[in-house]
Amino acid sequence: MQLSRGKAKTLFTVKNQPQQLIMHFRDDTSAFNGNKIESIPGKGRLNNLFNHHIMQHLRSHHIATHHIQLINDTDSLVHSLTMLPIECVIRNRSTGSLCKRLGIPENQILDPPLFEFFLKNDSLGDPLITKSHILTFNWATRTQAELMKSLSMQVNRLLLPLFQQAGYILVDFKLEFGYQPSHPNNLFLADEFTLDGCRLWDSNTLEKMDKDRFRHNLGNVLQSYQTVATQLGIPHIHPS
Residues that bind ligand C5P (CB under 6 A): 87, 89, 96-98, 126, 172-174, 197-199, 211
Nearer to ligand C5P, 75 or 212 (CB): 212
Nearer to ligand C5P, 75 or 176 (CB): 176
The distance of closest approach from Cβ of residue 87 to ligand C5P in the complex, given in angstroms and rounded to an integer, is: 6
CA distance 188 to 195: 20
The distance of closest approach from Cβ of residue 64 to ligand C5P in the complex, given in angstroms and rounded to an integer, is: 21
The distance of closest approach from Cβ of residue 93 to ligand C5P in the complex, given in angstroms and rounded to an integer, is: 11
Nearer to ligand C5P, 50 or 173 (CB): 173
The distance of closest approach from Cβ of residue 182 to ligand C5P in the complex, given in angstroms and rounded to an integer, is: 29
Nearer to ligand C5P, 101 or 157 (CB): 101
Four-residue CA torsion sign, 197, 48, 152, 169: negative
Decide: 155 and 58 in contact? Cβ < 8 Å.
yes
Nearer to ligand C5P, 97 or 154 (CB): 97
What CA–CA distances, in Å, run from 25 to 32, 61, 80, 93? 19, 25, 16, 28
Can you list the pairs that 139-143 forms with residues at least 24 positions away whose Cβ atoms lie under 8 Å?
Answer: 139/84, 139/85, 139/86, 140/84, 140/86, 141/184, 141/185, 143/185
The distance of closest approach from Cβ of residue 91 to ligand C5P in the complex, given in angstroms and rounded to an integer, is: 7
Residue sitting closest to ligand C5P (CB) = 96
